[in-house]
């Protein structure tokens, strides 16, 4: 434990497993709505990062995206399905990073389920555009940083701590094992 966290008067670390980990991933992922989608993380090449909107997060933490079949990210996933997703839900909390395994399909039922009219901007033929693919990311492990009681309480604790000269931090962080 580092020197700052040793001064905490309350618990600020909680490692989560199974459904608790999946619930935290879903909560923070849905709050963020977008992530940095990283590929080439195990190839030895410079990893590639791009912003992506998460279309849906299942209760088990599985994340769903729509992508063009000829996109670089699809080519990257075909070469190496290991990915990392980085989320930031707000300015001072709701951070999430996780590793997972990506697969690509052209499942028409899943495309219809995830489809929104604004996607016609990229897929001009609508949800039947032959270039649409579905990326499914199954999470394996990750790390989160959050607040226990929300940003207002966290800020109030920081102010009180600064006035008293004590470490009063409402943060909570830990590993996620899915």
Distance separating alpha carbons of residues 135 and 77, to the nearest angstrom: 9
57, 61, 162 from 158: Cα distances, Å: 32, 32, 6
The DSSP code sequence of 4-39 is: HHHT-SS--B--EEHHHHHHHHHHHHHHH-EEEEEE
Residue 88 in 3-state DSSP? strand
Q: What is the DSSP letter of 94?
A: -
167 vs 55, residue with greater confidence? 55
Q: CB atoms < 10 A from the CB of 178, how many?
A: 22
Asked if the model's pLDDT at residue 168 lies above 90, the reply is no
Query: What's the pLDDT at 164?
Result: 52
Query: What's the pLDDT at 153?
Result: 42
Contact 49, 57 (CB under 8 A): no
pTM of the full predicted structure? 0.86
Cα torsion at 101, 87, 97, 77 (round to 10°)? 20
Pairing outcome for strands 34-39 and 16-17: unpaired
Distance separating alpha carbons of residues 36 and 11, to the nearest angstrom: 30
Segment 129-161, tens digit of pLDDT: 999 999 999 999 999 998 754 554 444 445 444
Asked if the model's pLDDT at residue 8 lies above 90, the reply is no
Asked if the model's pLDDT at residue 10 lies above 70, the reply is no
Segment 66-100, tens digit of pLDDT: 999 999 999 999 999 999 999 999 887 789 999 99
Asked if the model's pLDDT at residue 25 lies above 60, the reply is yes
């Amino acid at each position: 434990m580092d020197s700052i966290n040793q001064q905490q008067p309350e618990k600020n670390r909680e490692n989560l497993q199974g459904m608790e980990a999946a619930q935290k991933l879903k909560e923070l992922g849905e709050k963020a709505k977008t992530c940095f989608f990283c590929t080439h993380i195990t190839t030895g090449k410079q990893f590639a990062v791009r912003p992506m909107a998460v279309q849906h997060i299942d209760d088990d933490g599985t994340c769903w995206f729509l992508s063009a079949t000829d996109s670089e990210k699809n080519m990257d996933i075909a070469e190496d399905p290991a990915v990392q997703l980085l989320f930031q839900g707000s300015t001072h909390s709701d951070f999430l990073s996780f590793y997972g395994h990506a697969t690509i399909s052209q499942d028409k039922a899943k495309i219809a389920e995830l489809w929104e009219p604004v996607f016609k901007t990229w897929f001009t033929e609508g949800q039947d555009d032959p270039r649409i693919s579905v990326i499914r990311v199954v999470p394996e492990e990750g790390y989160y940083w959050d607040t226990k009681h929300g940003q207002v309480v966290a800020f109030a604790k920081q102010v009180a701590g600064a006035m008293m000269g004590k470490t009063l931090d409402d943060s909570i962080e830990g590993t996620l094992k899915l």
